[in-house]
Structure 1
Amino acid sequence: MTAQDFEPPILVGGGAVELYSNSAVTTGDFDLVTARQESLEHIFRSLGFVRPSGPGIATRGWMHPDLKLGFEIVSSTLLDGLADRDRILLVDLGADGIAAIIAVEDMIADRMGQFASGSAPEMREQARRLLTLHSDADRAYLDRRIREETAGEYGIEDL
């Protein structure tokens, strides 16, 4: 994507949690955010990724048949525009470009938002684990983001 002068897609969701937890929490696929979905899908195709199809297949993502890796583009906007894009972690991969990963504070806040929705009670424990592993997190920013993601129902003290 950077070779085309586009921002790199941002890793979010379980893949980011796995990275930030040093694989203490594992995932089965990788969720990405990009405003350039068509361009990223073209890159996926050129690298041999396919969209699984057929009876019993319910995925919106891309799979690599040999690598057994799955990617899904989940949004065109990072956390509905609430995340501070200056906090995105950029990892230089040399000739392979740049990997962009959602900030750990935003990942914790997102997990708390899912917990607060009532649909994913296990997300609170993931948020707690991430905060324990990242005691250097910006606590003021994190508290604000948790409150935004939970409509004021929760804050950092609830971790």
Structure 2
Amino acid sequence: MTTLHRPELLRALALLARLNEAMHARGLPRPILVGGAAVEYFSGSAVMTGDIDLTSPVQEELERELVALGFIKPEGFGHTLGWLHPELRLGFEVVGSTPLEGNVDPFRLLLVEGLSPDAAFVIIPVEDLIADRMGQYSSGTAPELLRQARMLFRLHPDLDQAYLERRIRHETANEYGIADLTE
């Protein structure tokens, strides 16, 4: 398989796929990849992240599975809030119970296969990532996220334009739309 993704991300996503399958095998919802790692996935590692952000409505069960997969939770001053695996350079962190506070259409979530044998992981749709980046940009706290949103928009010409427009309008209190993604 030819890929543009950096090896560290691919190793982390393969482990995420194993985590997804362990949760699914127990009849629990699969954790959903969101945030910077999702941006890195959809950008082919053009944008890189330092952690894997997940959402899950069953955080305690997910943390049990992380331990079973060899993750540890560092303690003490100056340590990450998330989970670390000895073979990875990226930490895992549960950042919420649902993606974007429940504003993502669950039927649009994507199941990504092929990074680990017989395992897959769930990721937020690229349209919602763009809308989230635009929402953070419009808040005035993250001006660099406009660049990420524009890059993702250019890299994915097959986006659902109507859904994307609606999501950007929602995330930005109607201040921005698709037209703001073109330079």
Q: TM over 0.5: same fold?
A: yes
Matched, 1:82 2:103: yes
Change in Cα spacing, 1:97 to 1:66, as seen in structure 2 (3 Å) is closer
| 8 Å CA contact 1:9, 1:32 repeated in 2 | yes
* Contact preservation (8 Å) 1:10, 1:100: yes
Q: Residues of 1 paired with 2:24 and 2:90: CA distance?
A: 21
Residue 79 of structure 1, CA deviation: 1.1
Residue pair 1:2, 1:97 contacting (<8 A) in 2 also: no
Give 1:8 deviation, angstroms. 1.0
Displacement, 1:78?
1.6
Residue 49 of structure 1: aligned partner: 71
Output the CA distance in 2 between the equivalents of 1:135 and 1:68.
32
TM-score (structure 2 length as normaliser): 0.82
In structure 1, what is the Cα distance between the partners aligned to 2:75 and 2:121?
Answer: 28
> Which residue number corresponds to residue 64 of structure 1?
85
Matched pairs, number: 158
Deviations 1:24-72 (A, max 9, x none): 1111111001111011100111111111222322x22101133233101
State the distance in 2 between where 1:43 and 1:89 align: 22
Segments of structure 2 that go 5 or more residues without pairing to the other structure are: 1-22
Contact preservation (8 Å) 1:2, 1:98:
no
Structure 1 moving runs of 4+ over 6 Å: none
TM-score (norm 1): 0.94
Partner secondary structure for residue 66 of structure 2: helix
The CA deviation at 1:92 is: 3.0
Structure 1 gaps of 5+ residues are: none
Post-superposition CA distance 1:101-124 (Å, at most 9, x none): 000000100111111111111001
Q: Counterpart of 1:123?
A: 145
- The partner residue of 2:167 within 105, 125, 145 is 145
CA distance in 2 between partners of 1:18 and 1:74 (Å):
17
